[in-house]
Structure 1
């Protein structure tokens, strides 16, 4: 058999740029990771206890529909448990949506600096991704609607958006939905919902209840359970039925289900996490926003800092890394070469970042 003959992936797969995660410090170092928007307060103690309680049941398959978790989500968020689908992180659910609702010849629309997973899952499904320009790093509803064609099947909307931290108000999300055909699915990705403090924001749960072509996707990764990989969504009965036909039969492990259910009910910890984030997100924005650096207003658990040019951004990244503070370069994944994304961490980490960047400005 010739060595030149081998399995060939589907057309377009090799054109996909793989997802680039945030960097970590070297193994064994004391570097502080501020590159992946993880919880600065760890996980809920109740979630940790629940996770550990699963150790005596590791030989048993978990219940296939994640009923334990769906019940907790239903109780706390006031949504019908039958309209919830859980997954191995929200990425798992986004992949499922693309697999089920996109195909060859279809198009999906997103804002230019939206989450970098959307182009990957769109192209993997054989569809074309359409990038739409933003206004001040914020999704432009009019531009998104103008980009819709007869081929459009999905509109991806991260709200708040990663990596910019900007958001679209409830009124604007509803205006976007009102301008879409009934056969176009609006995917509202609320990975950072727990951190939003804007009064005109809404997670979209009410809109999901009113319309058959809206799905709300959320995650536990940003609130202390990144290692457990737990995501969830709320959609119409029809969409839930479609996804349940395709998802893996045991796609959420038992320790993760138990931990996420406990985290859901631990609203006190969630409130403490939000308060810590709001305090230090606002503080770092006030301290860094200047003639030399611009901090884009954020509703996430991170800020995007813009420097005069790519060279200054690279110098800032390298200097922070040398001091043991690892932030996220966003040029390679998003094309924002003059920007860095900085996760909100401990008070010590935030003061360290600000001190280093201010000193760097003074000598550059």
Structure 2
């Protein structure tokens, strides 16, 4: 008897390694210190929570199809043209919309060697060829990227700062990268962690979008604004690109509660600045403490540290050791770091707990 065959996806789809998020729970009872997903330890603004809850009385109504209140709030805060802002269900959706609009079989898209995994997935999902560019000192290398541009290149993805390294390209390097790209290639600046950067030579991408026709900046409310569960992101685009994305996105791709919470979060800038200040202080303290116990970290401009384990120790064993103490960090083998863990900066108590546990682990490894 011949077995029945079901429908098959397009060639290449089953070759895509699905995105696997950081571990979020452990078996057994007891509280967990979760520092695996780069979430803010301060949580969302109370004003955002209140706005979200108020939307419970309106769940039978469709949201504004263009997320107009959110786009107008963003435009007011940053001095942007609201018509050039596109909202999405997280910046992940924006990245996938860009791939859907501009990539197909025979096309290529470039990203840095240790760049966000979603880039490769989005490229492959639309039949295009992913082209990783080597990094220098765990930082995107402009010359390496430009050397890989061909007639088939359509998109260049740059996470700035990058996840999971935390490194960033100064704005002069971004301008040099853009200047070297053909006009038909879109430079996508993924600035998910932009609010955490306090370097004078950094610019998230607003100026580049304002002065070119082939740059898109993507942002998220998942990190510093603490709204990860709502899946809310946005992009600032040239008018032509915004028009394209609005043609293919879902008609109600952002929920009403998400829009309301996002608007309220933007209105509470003191809460956001408090999160920045907390991160700046504790990122330095944690990095210094890790260095003292023999764990090197990549200098980071974001809200996490890439922790490298020395020869003779194992990140996998450290991860298991931390799990025994109800602590979760992020393993990053799929990013090309088999002997490193990514550590999100948490609350004071969480940071101290992970430092105490890693000290114990390193003492036992000596």
Determine helix, strand or coil for the equivalent of 1:40.
coil
Cα offset for 1:147?
0.9
Cα offset for 1:4?
3.0
Cα offset for 1:311?
5.1
Determine helix, strand or coil for the equivalent of 1:153.
strand
Question: C-alpha deviations, 1:29-83, integer Å up to 9, x for none?
Answer: 3011100001100110110011011011000000100001001101111111000
| TM-score normalised by length of structure 1 | 0.97
Aligned match of 2:148: 147
Counterparts of 2:312 and 2:240, CA distance in 1? 47
Unaligned runs of 5+ in 1: none
Cα offset for 1:199?
1.6
Counterparts of 2:151 and 2:22, CA distance in 1? 37
Determine helix, strand or coil for the equivalent of 1:181.
coil
Determine helix, strand or coil for the equivalent of 2:157.
strand
Q: Relative to structure 2, which stretch is displaced further, 9-18 or 292-301? A: 292-301
Determine helix, strand or coil for the equivalent of 2:57.
helix
- The correspondence of residues 96-135 of structure 1 with structure 2, limited to 5 A, is 96-135=97-136
- The correspondence of residues 283-298 of structure 1 with structure 2, limited to 5 A, is 283-290=285-292, 292-298=294-300
Unaligned runs of 5+ in 2: none
Counterparts of 1:353 and 1:291, CA distance in 2? 12
Aligned match of 1:195: 196
- Does the Cα contact within 8 Å between 1:330 and 1:341 map onto a contact in 2? yes
Say whether 1:260 aligns with 2:262.
Answer: yes
- Does the Cα contact within 8 Å between 2:293 and 2:362 map onto a contact in 1? no
Counterparts of 1:142 and 1:265, CA distance in 2? 40
Aligned match of 1:326: 328
Cα offset for 1:351?
1.0
Counterparts of 1:98 and 1:339, CA distance in 2? 30
Aligned match of 2:43: 42
- Does the Cα contact within 8 Å between 2:48 and 2:260 map onto a contact in 1? yes
Say whether 1:24 aligns with 2:24.
Answer: yes
Change (3 A) 1:55 1:173: same
2:282 aligned residue (275, 280, 283): 280
Cα offset for 1:124?
0.3
Question: C-alpha deviations, 1:211-247, integer Å up to 9, x for none?
Answer: 0000000000002000011000000000000000000
Determine helix, strand or coil for the equivalent of 2:200.
coil
Question: C-alpha deviations, 1:253-304, integer Å up to 9, x for none?
Answer: 0000000011111110110010001111111111112583210000111000
Q: Relative to structure 2, which stretch is displaced further, 114-123 or 281-290? A: 281-290
Counterparts of 1:141 and 1:305, CA distance in 2? 25
Change (3 A) 1:310 1:2: farther
Count of matched residue pairs:
363
Cα offset for 1:25?
2.2
Determine helix, strand or coil for the equivalent of 1:51.
helix
Say whether 1:65 aligns with 2:66.
Answer: yes
Question: C-alpha deviations, 1:169-215, integer Å up to 9, x for none?
Answer: 01100100000000000000001111111221101101100000000
Determine helix, strand or coil for the equivalent of 1:186.
strand
Determine helix, strand or coil for the equivalent of 1:338.
strand
Aligned match of 1:9: 9
Question: C-alpha deviations, 1:12-38, integer Å up to 9, x for none?
Answer: 100100001010223653011100001
Determine helix, strand or coil for the equivalent of 1:108.
strand
Cα offset for 1:315?
1.8
Aligned match of 2:241: 239
Counterparts of 1:354 and 1:31, CA distance in 2? 15
Counterparts of 1:294 and 1:30, CA distance in 2? 28
Q: Relative to structure 2, which stretch is displaced further, 320-329 or 213-222? A: 320-329
Q: Relative to structure 2, which stretch is displaced further, 93-102 or 353-362? A: 353-362
Cα offset for 1:359?
2.4
Counterparts of 1:340 and 1:275, CA distance in 2? 24
Change (3 A) 1:154 1:309: farther
